[in-house]
Amino acid sequence: MNLIEEIKKLKKQRHAVILAHYYQESEIQDIADFLGDSLALAVAAQKCTQDVILFAGVHFMAETAKILNPTKTVVIPSMNAGCSLADSCPAPEFEKFLKNYPDYEVVSYINCTAATKALSTVICTSSNAEKVINTITKDKKIVFAPDYNLGRFLIKKTGRDMVLWKGTCVVHITFSLKEIQKLKLESPQAEIIAHPECEETVLSVADFIGSTTKLIHYATESSHKKFIVVTEPGVIHQMKKINPDNEYIPAPNDSGCACNLCPYMKENTLEKVYLALRDLKPEITLEPDLIESSRKPLQRMLEISGAGTLPS
């Protein structure tokens, strides 16, 4: 069976759209109708007019699509496509933690569950976090969750003193400063580009820091020809498509192996995309109350991002 042809047929039959994140396998990226970072995917999901959204990404992203466009059927290729950051911040524990900070504004990174979002004042992604934090007036104190490294990066960027939840991304904390520096010595002309979920020491040597979309744009526009890419290497597929003559070196971990794949993102396969479209499952379902309460902080983020308002 030709999976790609079958997926195309099913997509028509189901009136479906395929949204995919840059960390998906190349073959999934290539069949997607829309590719993006977390923010762009949330906006795209909100605007979808098709009946079915096949979300090739991780669970919190598909859940966000359901919250923003609840009348659509949202399916994900694998329910095991989780996220270590979302897992680090279960809503009941977060609620207890927040009791210590009753007057604080709660800024949550989109990499969290719907229930954790519902406890937040506003959501942000790695591409709009600075802008979101800057909308909070100086007289307010801030709790930031769940990514500790992104939080620390934002404290430096915004000058705001935030209380940080101590979650981490299993992929971005494994990059090795020593190995990156070794690569830089071998190729001094290469630029180091990194995602803000990396540790502070790694970020301190980066020439550019940004979300996946921003990293792709930077590598597209830079006059440099060689890049050490310090994020999940799935992004390199688009970088190579845009500039095939450039060289992109995936950053290594401590053992020198450039094998920092996100195990959750890689749960999705082309075959599971086909099955999800055929069977319309696994489906993302949420209680209407939770959709309502988690939608408010997301809506606030979209308004700040100039990403448009939501249908009421």
25, 37, 63, 199: which one binds ligand 13P (CB under 6 A): 37
Binding of residue 54 to ligand 13P (CB under 6 A): no
Binding of residue 76 to ligand SF4 (CB under 6 A): no
Residue 37, binding choice from ligand 13P, ligand SF4, none, Cβ under 5 to 8 Å by partner class: ligand 13P
Binding to ligand SF4, residues 10-49 (CB under 6 A) = none
- With respect to ligand 13P, which residue has the nearer C-beta, 52 or 216? 216
Binding of residue 171 to ligand SF4 (CB under 6 A): yes
Residue of 135, 145, 123, 115 whose CA lies nearest to 292: 115
- With respect to ligand SF4, which residue has the nearer C-beta, 60 or 218? 60
24, 69, 78, 125: which one binds ligand 13P (CB under 6 A): 125
Q: What is the DSSP string of 37-90?
A: -HHHHHHHHHH--SSEEEEES-HHHHHHHHHHSTTSEEE-S-TT---HHHHH--
Shortest Cβ distance from residue 38 to ligand 13P (Å)? 3
Give dist(CA 309, CA 296) in Å, integer. Answer: 11
Residue 114, binding choice from ligand SF4, ligand 13P, none, Cβ under 5 to 8 Å by partner class: none
Residue 116, binding choice from ligand 13P, ligand SF4, none, Cβ under 5 to 8 Å by partner class: none
Shortest Cβ distance from residue 37 to ligand 13P (Å)? 3
- Joined tokens for residue 93: 């524990």
- Joined tokens for residue 222: 């830079």
Binding of residue 197 to ligand 13P (CB under 6 A): yes
Binding to ligand SF4, residues 260-289 (CB under 6 A) = 262, 264-265
Give dist(CA 279, CA 53) in Å, integer. Answer: 13
Binding of residue 169 to ligand SF4 (CB under 6 A): yes
Give dist(CA 110, CA 63) in Å, integer. Answer: 10
24, 38, 116, 238: which one binds ligand 13P (CB under 6 A): 38
Residues recorded for the chain? 312
Give dist(CA 209, CA 108) in Å, integer. Answer: 20
Amino acid at 206: A
Give dist(CA 284, CA 293) in Å, integer. Answer: 17
Shortest Cβ distance from residue 194 to ligand SF4 (Å)? 13
Tokens 């502070």 belong to 200
Binding of residue 113 to ligand SF4 (CB under 6 A): no
- With respect to ligand 13P, which residue has the nearer C-beta, 36 or 73? 36
Q: What angle do CA 248, 254, 258 make, to 5 degrees?
A: 30
- Joined tokens for residue 62: 């598909």
Tokens 């923003």 belong to 68
Of 77-85, 138-146, 199-207, 286-294, which segment contacts ligand SF4 by CB under 6 A? Answer: 77-85
Binding site for ligand 13P (CB under 6 A): 37-38, 111, 125-126, 169, 195, 197, 211-212
